[in-house]
Structure formats: C-alpha cells, structure tokens
C-alpha cells in the first residue's frame, strides 16, 4: 500500500482497477508483463513497426511530389532503421527475456542506438541522432496509440493513470467505464481536471511520478476531495472509502430532487444555469441535470478527436446534432481555441517556448483564415436549426475582435452569394479571459452582444500562474482580489452597456463562489453539468440582498485567504454537508 498526495481537482472517491497510459514524448516507465503476455507484446511491436513503415513511405511519396526526390530521400534513413534486424531482434529479445512491455523495449533499444550514433566521430552520422529520436517517437506513438484504441471499448470499470491526459486521449476514452483520473502533472484548470468534472468523476493531478509506481491492474483509490491516491489499499482503507462513497450517493439523490426546479433566489431573482460541453452527446446529460442551455461549447475537441482536420460538414453535423438535442435552448459555440494546453506541442514543427503566450486560440485562427472560415461557415449554416450564438475566445485587442468579425462578415456574404440559408441576427460575443480585455471591457462592450468571462485563463494571465503547472497550483486562485476586481468591473461594464455577462470558467461551478458571483450581479453561470445541482441549491437558499452583502464584504478584503475563509463560512451555513 502507498499513499500519494496531489491536487484534488474533481470531487468524489472511487475504488477501481488502474489502467496506466503512456503518452508521446514521455519517459516510459519500466513495466513487467506476465509470460503469457509475451506474444501479445511482440505483436503490438510488429503492428507498430508496420504502421510506422506505411506512414514513412506515404510521407516520402508526398514530400517527393511536393518538393524533390532528394528531399523525399531524407526518409530513407528512417525506413532503413525500421527494416534493420538490429532494431527488431533486440526489441523482441527484451520483451521475451526481460518480460517488459513493447514500449519499454523500444525505448531502451532506440536510446542505445542514439547514444551509439552520438559517440561517432563522423559529424554526419552524429547528427543522425535527431532522426533516431524521431523514429523512437513514431514507433512509440504507434505502439501506445494501438493500445489506446482499446480504451475506447472497455469491458470493465477502471481508473486512468497518466502523465497528463491529452485532449485526443480523453476524446478516445470509453466514458461509461472510466471512473476516475490521476495524473503526474496538471493543475485545477488543466484539461484533465475539466474533463473529469464534466464527467462527474473524481480526479487528482500533480502526483509527481505516479505513472512509474502504478501498474495496470493495481487496485487504486482516487480521493478527489482530499487530493489523495492510494495504491493497493489495505482493508481498513477500503471500508472507510466505501462508507464515503455511500454518503456521497445520498447527497446526489438529494440534489437530484432540485433538477426540475428553477434557479431562483428566495427574493425571486431568476438565474440562468447553463452547461459547458465538448461533445454534442453531452447535451442530454446537461439538459437532464437542469441546464437552461449550453453556455460554452468547446469546439476544438471535435478537432482534436480526429487525426485529420474536420471538414465544414464535420463541424456542421456536430452543431446540428447539439441543436437537435437542445430542442430550442441556446447554444454558445466558441470558435476554435486551439493551442497551448489544447494542442500538443509535439505536433508543431518548432514547439513554442511559451505556448500560453503564443500562437493560440483566436490568434491561430487569424493566422489560418481558411480553417477559421470553414468553422464559421458551418456555424452560420447551423443558425437556422436553433438558437445559435457565436463567441470568440482569447480576444486581447479591439483589432483582433474587429478582424474576427470582418471574417465572419465575409462568410455571411459568401453564404448569401451561394444562396445557402442562415440567420443574420445571431448574437456575437467574446470571452473575457485576458486582463487587457477585462480592463477595456467598456470599449469591447460596444462591439459585441455578450461577454463570457473565462476565469481559467483570466486567473492564469492576471496572476502569472500557468494553469497546468502543479508546482504553482497553490498560487492559482480565483479569490485573489486582483481577479475579483476585474470580474466586478467586467460585470459592471456589461450592465452599463446593456449586454449580458456570464462566467464560463471553472469558478462558475464551484459552490464556494456562488454567493459572491451572485452578489456581483452575475445572472448567467455556465459550468460542468454535475455542478449544477449544488450551485442551484445555494441560489435557491439565499436572497440577492444577502449575496450583495457577501460580495461587498469580500471586495473589502485585500488577501485571498480572507476571501476564502469568509466565503467558506458563509457557504457552510447554506450547504454544511459539502463544506
């Protein structure tokens, strides 16, 4: 038994079987296999080798056509290594004799190749070490990728243990059987955390080298409340955690009773509780949990889930599907927010040094107008199918917003010329998630129909804290007075200019902040659907007047500690079972 402490990012407790996931570009922990698994591992290696060869031959052909035979020839070296028995035999022998996984054997053998090349006095050959790393990455990707596909069809419940979960990995998971996540890295608003909360399953991140200590098949307790993971727990711990699981189920049953009741304060103020989704299928759960609509549809996950870029028709079909499920309720479609944590840097020719400050989100779209237009065309075409609203992410200057709107206008004209039906009068809004946009909210408010505050990025950029870095997770705090001042001012700017304002960052679904946001004048909250019940319970148990008093008091504090302490006390009075 071993207890590991990390950061609890999605509540709940689960006891289940581990599946350890490796990912590209990562150290592959040494992991043993049973003798009867040897043939299966060798087959995984052989399949990955075959797949890599097909990829490289395709690549060589494409590059030869596009550039020249000489440039295409660069891949001859890679193909030669893949066909070389001095790669195949040592890998197979390591699997057979040392009883290790295919990925571990590939990694060890190719690392040995790399160090041999590096030691060569011939400059040309020494430089080939980069090619060896490239070959290693390709084979590993295929070994691991082939294994991951089976995660899409599990026959048993399991928890996923990974270094970090890439969006493409979570997209491929069998959501009915995955009961929890635990990762080596990450923070409260990293992708893993958001997906876990959206699925309503416990998650702990920032666990250091957990992947090296757990083997697939181990029994694991993931305690998302306390931020603890227990590897192969003893009987006492199993009893204690089963008891907790039972209590939590009782709370869920109580919250379920609120599902069909409105989110209205005791003094009659109606609040709109909406849901954040990544896939159209999530709409059903959101509506079942009482969401009044979708306040944030993260469309980039459609993009990340497939190997090739989605076509206009792919986008259109996804939107049409979501709108059908929504049956008239609003759908805020956020345009592509790729980059940074939502795009593996490995896919870039030259990885960015500071991806969060780099070519991400709206910037990437403005640099790739054909891709952007494809998405906008699909969104506009979907406007005749329901209540569609468009939202641009990561806007940091007025010029960016104007450019994005101009491209939208071009798309409108194109559709008109083509005689395709669409609705012209749809609301166009923007996310406020960069301090420059928050500080200029008054100017922006004159040019959009709504704001949605993305606190995940707003906190990150205001406090200079990487939202995915576990080392600084303790500094990531929406309760920081600087963040709260920006929030208050953006809500005020929205009201002053008669445009609606919502919060769609994780803060909106945290019961701790409900009273404060309500008191600051927020009327639209968009969150992961499992959070709707608790937030609704608080709203229905208070008055707007009381929430305003809470907000006034909070805004008088000058440290996040005071804010958190006070909010905890006030919220505990309303839902003691949660705090």
Task: Please report the sign of the dihedral spanned by the C-alpha atoms of residue 63, residue 69, residue 71, residue 76.
Answer: positive
Q: Does 335 bind ligand PEP (CB under 6 A)?
A: no
- Among residue numbers 456 through 485, which ones bind Mg ion (CB under 5 A)? 457
Counting residues that bind Mg ion (by CB under 5 A) gives: 3
Contact (CB, 8 A) for 574 and 542: yes
Q: Which segment (67-75, 155-163, 237-245, 455-463) binds ligand PEP by CB under 6 A?
A: 455-463
Closer Cβ to Mg ion, 184 or 457, answer by number:
457
Nearest distance in Å: CB 300, ligand PEP? 8
Q: Does 505 bind ligand PEP (CB under 6 A)?
A: yes
Written as one string, the DSSP assignment of 516-566 is HHHHTT--EEEE-GGGHHHHHHHHHTS-HHHHHHHHHHHHT--SHHHHHHH
Residue 230 has φ and ψ, to the nearest 5°, of -115, 125
Q: Does 455 bind ligand PEP (CB under 6 A)?
A: yes
Closer Cβ to ligand PEP, 107 or 468, answer by number:
468
Q: Does 457 bind ligand PEP (CB under 6 A)?
A: yes
Helix (H, G, I), strand (E, B) or coil at 446: coil
Nearest distance in Å: CB 510, ligand PEP? 12
Contact (CB, 8 A) for 394 and 362: yes
Q: Which segment (101-109, 134-142, 234-242, 449-457) binds ligand PEP by CB under 6 A?
A: 449-457
Residue 505 interacts with, from Mg ion, ligand PEP, none (CB under 5-8 Å by kind):
ligand PEP
Helix (H, G, I), strand (E, B) or coil at 20: strand
Is residue 141 classed exposed, middle or buried when 0-12, 13-18 and 19+ CB atoms within 10 A define those classes? buried
Q: Which segment (81-89, 97-105, 453-461, 511-519) binds ligand PEP by CB under 6 A?
A: 453-461
Q: Does 509 bind ligand PEP (CB under 6 A)?
A: no
Q: Does 433 bind ligand PEP (CB under 6 A)?
A: yes
Residue 338 has φ and ψ, to the nearest 5°, of -75, 165
- Among residue numbers 293 through 322, which ones bind ligand PEP (CB under 6 A)? 296, 298
Q: List the catalytic residue out of 78, 319, 504, 546.
A: 504
Which structure tokens are listed for 307? 């190997």
Closer Cβ to Mg ion, 475 or 544, answer by number:
475
Q: Does 429 bind Mg ion (CB under 5 A)?
A: no
Which structure tokens are listed for 473? 């997770």
Cα–Cα distances (Å) from 8 to 207, 210, 220, 551, in that order, read 10, 14, 15, 27
Which structure tokens are listed for 211? 């992947």
Residue 224 interacts with, from ligand PEP, Mg ion, none (CB under 5-8 Å by kind):
none
- Among residue numbers 150 through 209, which ones bind ligand PEP (CB under 6 A)? 189
Closer Cβ to ligand PEP, 167 or 310, answer by number:
167
Which structure tokens are listed for 527? 């969150």
Q: Does 454 bind ligand PEP (CB under 6 A)?
A: yes
Q: Which segment (236-244, 306-314, 434-442, 452-460) binds ligand PEP by CB under 6 A?
A: 452-460
Closer Cβ to ligand PEP, 383 or 455, answer by number:
455
CA count, 13 A, side-chain hemisphere, 411: 24
How many Cβ atoms sit within 10 Å of the Cβ of residue 503? Answer: 29
Cα–Cα distances (Å) from 5 to 29, 207, 216, 348, in that order, read 20, 6, 20, 33
Helix (H, G, I), strand (E, B) or coil at 280: coil
Q: Does 280 bind ligand PEP (CB under 6 A)?
A: no
Closer Cβ to ligand PEP, 383 or 456, answer by number:
456
Which structure tokens are listed for 381? 């075409």
Strand runs labelled E in 11-114 = 13-21
Q: Does 438 bind ligand PEP (CB under 6 A)?
A: no
191 is catalytic: yes
315 is catalytic: no
Nearest distance in Å: CB 304, ligand PEP? 12
Closer Cβ to ligand PEP, 113 or 343, answer by number:
343
Q: Does 454 bind Mg ion (CB under 5 A)?
A: yes
How many Cβ atoms sit within 10 Å of the Cβ of residue 449? Answer: 17
Closer Cβ to ligand PEP, 20 or 338, answer by number:
338
Helix (H, G, I), strand (E, B) or coil at 216: coil
Residue with smallest beta-carbon separation from Mg ion: 457
Q: List the catalytic residue out of 78, 191, 241, 546.
A: 191
Residue 504 interacts with, from ligand PEP, Mg ion, none (CB under 5-8 Å by kind):
ligand PEP
Of 350, 333, 339, 334, residue with least CA distance to 304: 339
Residue 571 interacts with, from ligand PEP, Mg ion, none (CB under 5-8 Å by kind):
none
Residues 6+ apart with CB under 8 A from 65: none
203 bridge partner residues: 10, 181
Of 388, 363, 390, residue with least CA distance to 376: 390
Binding residues for Mg ion, per CB under 5 A? 433, 454, 457
Binding residues for ligand PEP, per CB under 6 A? 189, 296, 298, 337, 433, 454-457, 504-505
- Which residues carry out catalysis? 191, 504
């Amino acid at each position: 038994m071993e207890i590991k402490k990390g950061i609890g990012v999605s509540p709940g407790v689960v006891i289940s079987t581990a599946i350890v996931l490796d990912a590209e570009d990562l150290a592959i922990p040494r992991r043993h296999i049973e003798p009867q698994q040897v043939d299966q591992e060798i087959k995984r290696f052989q399949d990955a080798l075959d797949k890599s060869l097909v990829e490289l031959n395709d690549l060589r052909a494409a590059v030869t056509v596009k550039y020249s035979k000489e440039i295409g020839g660069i891949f001859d070296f890679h193909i030669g290594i893949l066909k070389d028995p001095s790669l195949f035999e040592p890998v197979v022998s390591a699997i057979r004799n040392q009883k290790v996984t295919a990925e571990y054997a590939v990694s060890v053998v190719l690392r040995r190749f790399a160090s041999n090349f590096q030691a060569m006095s011939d400059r040309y050959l020494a430089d080939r070490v980069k090619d060896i790393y490239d070959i290693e990455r390709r084979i590993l990707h295929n070994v691991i990728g082939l294994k991951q596909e089976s995660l899409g069809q599990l026959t048993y419940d399991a928890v996923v243990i990974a270094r970090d979960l890439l969006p493409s990995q979570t997209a491929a998971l069998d959501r009915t059987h995955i009961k929890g996540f635990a990762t080596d890295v990450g923070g409260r608003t990293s992708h893993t955390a958001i997906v876990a909360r959206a699925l309503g399953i416990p998650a702990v991140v920032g666990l250091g080298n957990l992947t090296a200590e757990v083997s697939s098949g181990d029994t694991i307790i993931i305690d998302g409340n306390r931020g603890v993971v227990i590897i192969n727990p003893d009987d006492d711990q199993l009893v204690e955690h089963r008891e907790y699981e039972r209590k939590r189920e009782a709370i869920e049953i109580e919250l379920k009773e609120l599902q069909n009741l409105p989110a209205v304060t005791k003094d009659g103020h109606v609040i709109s509780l909406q849901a954040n989704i990544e896939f159209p299928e999530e709409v059903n759960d959101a509506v079942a949990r009482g969401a009044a609509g979708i306040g944030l549809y993260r469309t980039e996950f459609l993009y990340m889930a497939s190997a090739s870029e989605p076509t206009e028709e792919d986008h259109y079909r996804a939107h049409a599907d979501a709108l059908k499920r929504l049956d008239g309720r609003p759908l805020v479609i956020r345009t592509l927010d790729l980059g940074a944590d939502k795009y593996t840097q490995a896919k870039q020719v030259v990885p960015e040094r500071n991806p969060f400050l780099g070519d991400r989100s709206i910037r990437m779209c403005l640099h790739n107008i054909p891709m952007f237009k494809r998405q906008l065309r699909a969104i506009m075409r979907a406007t005749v199918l329901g209540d569609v609203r468009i939202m641009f992410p990561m806007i940091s200057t007025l010029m960016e917003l104007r450019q994005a709107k101009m491209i939208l206008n071009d798309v409108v004209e194109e559709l008109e010329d083509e005689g395709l039906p669409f609705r012209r009068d749809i609301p166009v809004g923007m996310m406020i998630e960069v301090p420059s946009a928050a500080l200029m909210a008054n100017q922006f408010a004159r040019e959009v129909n709504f704001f949605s505050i993305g606190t995940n990025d707003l906190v990150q950029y205001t406090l200079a804290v990487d939202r995915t870095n576990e080392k600084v997770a303790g500094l990531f705090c929406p309760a920081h007075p600087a963040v709260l001042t920006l929030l208050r001012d953006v809500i005020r700017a929205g009201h002053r200019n008669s445009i609606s304002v919502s919060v769609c960052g994780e803060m909106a679904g945290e019961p701790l902040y409900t009273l404060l946001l309500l008191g600051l004048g927020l009327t639209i909250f968009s969150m992961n659907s499992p959070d709707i019940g608790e937030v609704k319970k608080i709203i229905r148990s208070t008055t707007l007047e009381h929430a305003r008093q809470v907000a006034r008091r909070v805004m008088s504090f000058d440290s996040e500690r005071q804010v958190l302490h006070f909010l905890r006390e006030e919220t505990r009075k309303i839902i003691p079972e949660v705090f």
